[in-house]
Structure formats: C-alpha cells, structure tokens
C-alpha cells in the first residue's frame, strides 16, 4: 500500500535503436524549366518540381519548406556560389557582400509533391526530408540548361553555370 501523498500511476519507457541500417535514405525526382538568354548567358529559372518519398510525412507544411529550402541551396550552388581566389590563393569573396547566393525574388514557385512509403527502419516510418532538395536541384537545373542549349550544339559541364560559362559553351567568349 502506498502513502496517501503518492498516487499510483502506470508509466512505460521505450527506446528505439536502429540496428539494421545506419542511414535511412529518401528518394525522389526533380525537374526544372529554364530560359537561357543566348546573348547575355543569363539563366532564368521559370519553374521547379519535386516529387519525393520521405516515408511518412509527419508535418506536411514543414516537409514542403525543408524541401524548398534545400532546393534553393542546390540552385545557389548550380548558378551562383563559387569561391574565388587570387594568384596568391587569397579568398576574394569571403563575405556575403561578395559571395553570390540566390535572392528570394529570383526563385520561382517550387512545387513539392510527396509519395509516402513508410520505412520499417524508423519508429514513425519517416525518412530524411531536407537533404533531397540540395542534392538533386543542381542536376535538374543543369539538365534543363543543357536541354535549352541543345539546338546550339552546346552544353555545360561545370557549376556554377554563370553567364560567362554559358557564353563560353556557346563559343561567344
């Protein structure tokens, strides 16, 4: 029998430990629709689509925004971000005033769709969601740019795809 000031309660503690796999991978596909100005080399991203399977989506709005944020990072790497060094190996664009990143006004709507295939490797059936945008966006963008350059028998292989690299691919510089 318990003392009067202690109430009987039922509690349980459960700990989940991943044994079979170290990582749980998400998967999906992305597509980009671009406009390439062949006179200036500027690329305008008109639309971007993402379909991904992050297992059970726990918070749809947060999952969408994580994917969008990852896509913007990937787009930044594909179009803008580059460390520039001088002849003595000194970084020339080490501040955000000099290092180019995407601006919100330059981004199109990023359309996100989910396929839910729960995994048995996590307690909630969820997989990672934020990484997929970063990894696939540069490839989707480069494929779209190369598709736009195909009528000119040109293509790019390096990122960032700056106006200069586009004009070089077109043989204009």
pLDDT above 90 covers a percentage of the chain that reads 66
Cα torsion at 164, 168, 171, 173 (round to 10°)?
50
pTM for this entry: 0.81
Strands 110-114 and 27-36: unpaired
Q: Would you say 63 and 55 are in contact if contact means Cβ atoms under 8 Å apart?
A: no
At the second CATH level, the architecture of 27-168 is: 2-Layer Sandwich (3.30)
pLDDT in tens, 114-167: 999 998 888 888 888 878 788 899 999 999 999 999 999 999 999 999 999 999
- Position 170 scores a pLDDT of 98
How is the chain split into domains, by residue range? 27-168
- Residue 15 neighbours by CB under 8 Å, 6+ apart: none
Average pLDDT score over the chain = 91
Q: What DSSP assignment string belongs to 25-37? A: --EEEEEEEEEE-
- Position 163 scores a pLDDT of 97
- The pair of three-digit structure tokens given for residue 139, joined into one six-digit string: 């490839």
């Amino acid at each position: 029998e318990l003392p009067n000031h202690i109430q009987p309660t039922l509690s349980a503690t459960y700990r989940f430990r991943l044994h079979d796999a170290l990582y749980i991978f998400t998967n999906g596909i992305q597509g980009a629709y671009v406009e390439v100005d062949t006179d200036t080399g500027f690329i305008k991203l008109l639309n971007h689509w993402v379909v991904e399977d992050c297992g059970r989506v726990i918070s749809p709005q947060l999952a969408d925004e994580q994917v969008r944020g990852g896509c913007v990072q990937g787009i930044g790497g594909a179009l803008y971000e580059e460390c520039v060094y001088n002849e003595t190996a000194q970084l020339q664009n080490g501040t955000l005033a000099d290092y180019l990143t995407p601006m919100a006004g330059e981004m199109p709507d990023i359309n996100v769709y989910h396929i839910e295939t729960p995994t048995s490797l996590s307690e909630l059936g969820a997989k990672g969601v934020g990484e997929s945008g970063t990894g696939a966006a540069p490839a989707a963008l480069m494929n779209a740019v190369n598709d736009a350059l195909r009528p000119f028998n040109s293509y790019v292989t390096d990122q960032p795809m700056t106006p200069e690299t586009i004009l070089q691919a077109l043989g204009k510089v």
